[in-house]
Amino acid sequence: MKISSGNQILFFRNDSILSFEAVAGQSLVHFIDGKNLKVDESIESIEKQLTDSGFIRISDRHIVNVNCITRISNSKDDFVELSNAEVLPINGKQKELIMELITEHPIKTKT
């Protein structure tokens, strides 16, 4: 995936990214290794690049890597838990789409 940041274009492997978070018209990229990077692209721009790539927008502020979801709540307070133990709220309407995407992109387990 390519992301614009300042006067450069950065390239990342999709499997190195945990999630994206909208921050005041920009985005924060959260990597699996725990590092974060603020970039100039909006969450909407990033979402367009991630079509059919195993990522899903779970709320107005977050896009997550489906392979990093470890748990989805089954209660009135809808949320997902990621592999780094972070808990993020999900838009209730997205819950069904998340389940479908997980079915299409089986979660990779470490052996």
How many Å apart are CA 51 and CA 77, to the nearest integer? 27
pLDDT band at 107 (very low <50, low <70, confident <90, very high): low
Residue 81, domain member (yes or no): yes
- Mean local confidence (pLDDT), 78-100: 84
How many Å apart are CA 43 and CA 88, to the nearest integer? 16
Residue 99, domain member (yes or no): yes
Tens-place pLDDT, residues 39-88? 999 999 999 988 778 899 999 999 999 889 998 887 777 898 999 999 99
Domains contained in the chain, number = 1
Residue 10, domain member (yes or no): yes
Residue 23's domain spans which residues? 2-104
CATH number at residue 12: 2.40.50.1020
Residue 109, domain member (yes or no): no
CA distances from 104 to 25, 30, 39, 46 (A): 31, 23, 29, 21
Residue 80, domain member (yes or no): yes
Task: For residue 4, give the DSSP letter.
Answer: E
CA torsion 91-92-98-99 (nearest 10°) is 170
Residue 42, domain member (yes or no): yes
Residue 110, domain member (yes or no): no
